[in-house]
Amino acid sequence: MTAAAGAALIAPAALPGAAPVTLDAGHERAAYTPEAGDAPDAPDAPALLGMPGALGASGGRESREQRKPLEPWRTGEVRAAELLAAVRDCAPVSRGRFRSDDGEPADIEVCGRRDAVFWKADMDIDCDGRPGRHCNARTDPLFSENTAYQQSDGRQLSAERLPYVVVPAPSRRWNHRKHDVRRGTVAAVVHGDRVGYAVVGDIGPDDIIGEASYALARDLGIRPDPTGGGAASGVTYILFKDSGASPIESRRAAAAQGEKLAREFVGRS
């Protein structure tokens, strides 16, 4: 994650009745309380019916999809301009506004439609979860080995391999759970003329919005460096209500679901 977002995570307000989870010295994440629909997938859940990449019963091994080199970004069927046109108008569903970073003005609303919630913000880089070549304690001074949600085999998500979005912790300002957004919810994220599909994979401070994984930033052509990367503005996050990729760690499942839901969202179903 970037220093700005990381600083905001040092002491976020915990949810009533739940103690914050300590990640490392002087570093806390807002408490997460699992609810129905947030339980991990079964270890042998298929990525998509008929597709390779499903995790086997062994659980501890990475799937073929996770082991193989990541595919370069490519254009999907639904264009960025179509998605942006569909979210031109905002009907606020949040009771207040969010900051893009600690110390910035609170000027970002969460907007809603019948089938989705969305917001327009910056992108800070989340590099937490399972350590790898690009996301680790050496590359990110605020690195944490924990993510709010886990893979189907119980391991932490990998920010450098899985495109995911970070949502604010539930609060009076906005509670994502009450809008059918939960673990693995599918998202379409737009930056410039690129569209990236992702899942909800982590939870951040309850007053800051606009953060995503290293892998999603890379897919969108945004510099993914956790200490100096990200985008200052111009990122649109669209989360499709009551959706979900299974297993949560499957890029293919998120892309297939995302493309289908995006077509419906812009009226091309």
Stated length of the chain: 269
Alpha-carbon span 201 to 185, nearest angstrom: 8
Q: CA–CA distance from 198 to each of 14, 19, 138, 179 (Å)?
A: 26, 29, 26, 18
Return the C-alpha torsion angle 226, 161, 210, 27, nearest 10.
-60
Residue 260 has pLDDT above 50, yes or no: yes
C-alpha 200: how far from chain center: 4
What does the pLDDT look like over 126-170, one tens digit per residue? 999 999 999 999 999 999 999 999 999 999 999 999 999 999 999
Alpha-carbon span 102 to 155, nearest angstrom: 30
Least confident span in 76-80, 125-129, 214-218: 76-80
Q: Within 10 A of 183 (CB to CB), how many other CB atoms are there? A: 23
State residue 39's pLDDT score.
52
Greater pLDDT, 49 or 29: 29
Alpha-carbon span 109 to 132, nearest angstrom: 34
Least confident span in 40-44, 109-113, 162-166, 256-260: 40-44
Model-level pTM? 0.77
Secondary structure (DSSP) of 79-97: -HHHHHHHTSS--B-SSS-
C-alpha 265: how far from chain center: 19
Least confident span in 45-49, 132-136, 200-204, 218-222: 45-49
What is residue 253's three-state secondary structure? helix
What does the pLDDT look like over 81-135, one tens digit per residue? 999 999 999 999 999 999 999 999 999 999 999 999 999 999 999 999 999 999 9
- Provide, rounded to the nearest whole percent, the portion of the chain with pLDDT above 90: 71
Alpha-carbon span 131 to 187, nearest angstrom: 24
Q: Which run of H or E residues covers position 217?
A: helix 214-219
Return the C-alpha torsion angle 206, 208, 212, 218, nearest 10.
-170
Where do the domains of the chain lie? Answer: 80-269
State residue 1's pLDDT score.
52
